[in-house]
Chains A and B, each alone.
Chain A
Amino acid sequence: MAKTIIRFDHATFGFSDVIALQDISLDITEGEFVGVIGPNGSGKTTLCRAVLGLMQPMGGSLQIFDCACEELRCHHRARIGYLPQKGALDRNFPITVLETVMMGRYGALGLFNRPSKRDRDIALEALSHVGMEDRLDSALGHLSGGQQQRVFIARALAQQPDVLLLDEPTTGIDITTQHSVLDLIRHLHRDLKLTILLITHDINMIRSSVDRLVLLKTRLYAAGPPEEVLRPDVLRQVYGKDLVITEKDLILVEDYHHHH
C-alpha cells in the first residue's frame, strides 16, 4: 500500500469573503500521476497554492508529508518542485540558464549556506534530465517558450523534490512543444519516481498520461481513473453546455476565455 503524502480533509480555502475551494477531501499517494481539471475560476490555482503552503485552510485540514503542521515550513516547501503558470518573462532579465536552475537549490540550502560544487552538480543533472545541459550559459530570455519551460522544470528538479507540481505546463506554447513537454513529464514520473500533480484546462492533452483525474469546481466533483471521471454525466455537472462530445467519443472542452 503506497503512502499518502498529501491529504485534504474537508478543507476549505479562500480569501476573506470569497470561497475558492470548499470541503475538499482528497488523498494523493506516493508515485501517483494526478491531473487536476476544471473550468476557469474553479479553484485549480488555489489548490496549487495550498499544496505549496502559501494558503492555510479556513476550515478542515491539509497534511503534507508526514507532518501535521498547519503552516508548511521552508524545508517542506523545498520538497515540492513547482512549475508556475507561464507568466510574461521579462526577456531582458539578465540571467543565464544555469543561474536560473541554481535558484532551485536555494530553498533547500537554507539561509547562510552558499551553493557548493555538489549543488552545481545537482543543477547540471537536472538540466540533463530536461535535455538542456548544453545551454548552461545561454540567456534565459533568448530561449523559445518550450525551452524556457524545460529550464523551469529543471529548476524544480534541482530542489530534489518528492512531488512535482505543475500549473498549466502546456499553456502558451505550440502544440508540438506541448507534446514534448508532456513526454518529459511522463519520463520524470517514470524514471525519477516523482509524484506528479498536474493542473490543466486541457483534458485531452493529459487523459492518457494520468493515473487519476480530479475534477474541481469550487467543490470536488470527481476523483478517479480517467475513464470514470470523463463521463458525460460527470463532466456536465461542471462544464454544462461548454462540453462537446464528438462522434469518435473524444471529449473536447473548449475554454475560450483561457487564452485571453
Chain B
Amino acid sequence: MFEMLAYDFMQRSLLAAATVGAVCSVIGVFVVLRGLAFIGAGTAHAAFAGVALAYLVGLPPLPLAIVFGLATVWVTGVMEEQGRMKLDVSIGILYTATMALAILFIGLMKGYNAEVYGYLFGSVLSVTPDELRVILVLSMVVLGVLLTFSKELYFIAFDQEMAEASGVPARRIFYLLLTLVALTVVVSLKTVGAILVFAMILIPASTAYQLTHSLSHMTAYAVVIGVACAVGGVLLSYGWDLPSGPAIVLLATTIFFLSVLLSPKRRRRVQTA
C-alpha cells in the first residue's frame, strides 16, 4: 500500500487532490448557503471553453480559463441582481453557449488533443510539478481571501440585504465570492475536470449541511469530508486503475447519500412527524 507513495507522481497527485478538496469544500459552504450552485456549474463550462481556445491559438490555458470563468460569473451575478429574467433560464443559456464555444474551438483544432480532454474529465495522476505549484499558490490565495472575509461571507450567505443594512459592503462581498468561485473552478480543472468540478464544490458542503446546526462546524466538517474524499478517490483510482475524477466524485456522492440517511436533521423530522 505505502510503496506507491514513493513515486513522485503519486505524491504530487495526492497533494493536488488534498489541496483541491480543501479549497473546493470551503468555497462550497458559501456556494451552498448562498444558493449559487448553478452559477458555479456554468462557470466550469465557461472555464473549459477558455482552455479549449488557449489550445486552439497556442496560448497558456490557465489565464484564458480565468478570463472566461470570471466573465461568466460576473455576468450571471449581474443577472441575479437585476432579476429581469429567471436566473435558471439565463444561466442555462450561458452554460450551454459556453459549452458550444468549447466544442467549436475543439472542432477547429487539427487532430485530436488529449490534453484538452484532460481538462474536461480531470487527470490528477498526470499533474506536473509546474501545475502543482500553480494549484498550491492559487489555492492559498483563495483560502486566504476566504479566511479574511469569512464573517462578511457568512453574513451575506445568511441574509444579504440584512448584511447591507447593518453596514457590511454586501454587494462587493457578493462579487468577491463570485470571483473566488471562478478561481476555485480554474484551480480544480486539471484535477477533477470541468464536468465534475462542481461536485467537489457542492458535495462536501452539502454533506456537512446534513450533519450540523452551526456555521463553524459546517465549514470544518466540509473540509474534512472534501480532503478525505479527494485523497481516498486518488487511492482508489491508483489501486483499481480507475479514472481519478469519477473515483473522487462517486466516493463523495456515496458519503453524501449516507449523510442524508443518517442526518440528525432528518431524524428530528421523522420524530416530530
A→B interface (CB under 8 Å): 52, 54, 74-78, 80-82, 84, 92-96, 99-100, 103-104, 106-109, 111-112, 114-115, 137, 139-142, 156, 159
Contacts and interface: CB of A to CB of B under 8 A. Distances in A.
Contacts, number: 84
Interface string B116-159: 00000000000000000000000000000000110110110011
Nearest to B264: A139
Contacts of B215: 94-96, 99
A82 B165 contact: yes
B209 A107 contact: no
A106 B217 contact: no
* 9 smallest beta-carbon distances between A and B, as pairs: A107-B167, A139-B213, A77-B167, A78-B167, A107-B166, A74-B167, A52-B165, A94-B218, A82-B165
Nearest to B167: A107
A74 B168 contact: yes
Nearest to B208: A94
B167 A108 contact: yes
B181 to A, nearest CB: 20
B107 interface: no
Contacts of A96: 213-215
A54 B162 CA distance: 11
B158 A103 contact: yes
| Interface class of chain B by DSSP | helix
A243 B215 CA distance: 47
B267 interface: no
Nearest to A107: B167
B202 to A, nearest CB: 15
A119 to B, nearest CB: 10
Contacts of B33: 93-94
Nearest to A79: B167
Interface string B161-172: 111111111000
Interface residues of B, number: 27
Given A109-B151, A111-B149, A115-B151, A95 B168 contact: no
B209 A92 contact: yes
Contacts of B237: none
Given A106-B151, A111-B152, A114-B151, A99 B214 contact: yes
A141 B159 CA distance: 14
Interface of B: 33, 148-149, 151-152, 154-155, 158-159, 161-169, 209, 212-218, 265
Contacts of A84: 159, 161-162, 165
Contacts of B212: 94
A166 to B, nearest CB: 12
A104 B162 CA distance: 10
| Interface class of chain A by DSSP | mixed
A139 B121 CA distance: 40
B167 A75 contact: yes
A112 B167 contact: no
A100 B154 CA distance: 10
B129 to A, nearest CB: 35
Contacts of A82: 162, 165-166
Contacts of A107: 163, 166-168
Given A76-B167, A82-B165, A94-B214, 18 more contacts: A54-B161, A54-B164, A54-B165, A74-B169, A77-B165, A82-B162, A94-B212, A94-B213, A99-B154, A103-B155, A103-B166, A106-B168, A107-B168, A109-B151, A112-B148, A137-B214, A139-B214, A156-B166
A52 B265 CA distance: 36
Contacts of B217: 94
Contacts of A115: 151
Given A92-B265, A94-B212, A103-B158, A77 B151 contact: no
B132 to A, nearest CB: 31
A111 B148 CA distance: 8
A95 B166 contact: no
A154 B155 CA distance: 16
A54 B54 CA distance: 43
Contact of A142 (B149, B169, B213): B213
A142 B162 CA distance: 21
